[in-house]
């Protein structure tokens, strides 16, 4: 584990939410769509980490379902790892339930994988490996 990579915030309206965070003095780095995850993401750098605002692009998407059940707000924490396959294997060996048995490509082109919140007292945890760290 290298650091907290980002904090994910689920939002209904990305443009409206971007304005709110800009009013806090934060600057949006960029916005991108991740089609296979059915989301649009805005990146706000803060030091070595960042906040990601995440809006569903599909009313049946996972973020839309999350908002329907829990409302807008905190969704997950992502930890930057050097080797995501090793991190997943270690988590599995520790008895944690994986959502993703193997990594997939997420926002920013990173390799990502999620651990189930049932294993972590309600916390949805993401492992994230950036291409610069991929060996």
CATH number for 3-133 (one of 3.40.50.10490, 3.30.465.10, 3.90.180.10, 3.10.180.10): it is 3.10.180.10
pLDDT at 133: 45
pLDDT at 33: 96
pLDDT at 116: 97
pLDDT at 103: 97
**Single pTM value for the model:** 0.91
DSSP the chain: --EEEEEEEEES-HHHHHHHHHHTT----EEEEEGGGTEEEEEEEETTEEEEEEEESSTTSHHHHHHHHH-SEEEEEEEE-S-HHHHHHHHHHTTPPBS-SS-EE-GGG-EEEEE-GGGGTT--EEEEE-GGG--
pLDDT at 132: 56
Could you report the per-residue pLDDT of 11-39, keeping only the tens digit for each?
999 999 999 999 999 999 999 999 999 99
Could you report the per-residue pLDDT of 67-101, keeping only the tens digit for each?
999 999 999 999 999 999 999 999 999 999 999 99
Q: Provide the pLDDT confidence category of residue 131 given band limits of 50, 70 and 90.
A: confident
- The domains of the chain are located at 3-133
């Amino acid at each position: 584990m290298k650091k907290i990579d980002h904090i994910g915030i689920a939002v209904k309206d990305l443009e409206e939410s971007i304005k709110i965070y800009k009013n806090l003095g934060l600057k949006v780095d960029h916005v991108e769509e991740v089609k296979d995850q059915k989301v649009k993401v805005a990146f706000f750098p803060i030091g070595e980490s960042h906040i990601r605002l995440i809006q569903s692009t599909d009313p049946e998407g996972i973020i839309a379902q999350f908002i329907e059940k829990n409302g807008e707000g905190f969704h997950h924490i992502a930890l930057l790892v050097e080797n995501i396959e090793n991190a997943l294997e270690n988590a599995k060996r520790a008895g944690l339930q994986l959502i993703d048995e193997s990594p997939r490509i997420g926002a920013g082109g990173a390799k990502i994988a999620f651990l189930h919140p049932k294993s972590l007292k309600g916390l949805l945890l993401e492992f994230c490996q950036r291409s610069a760290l991929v060996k």
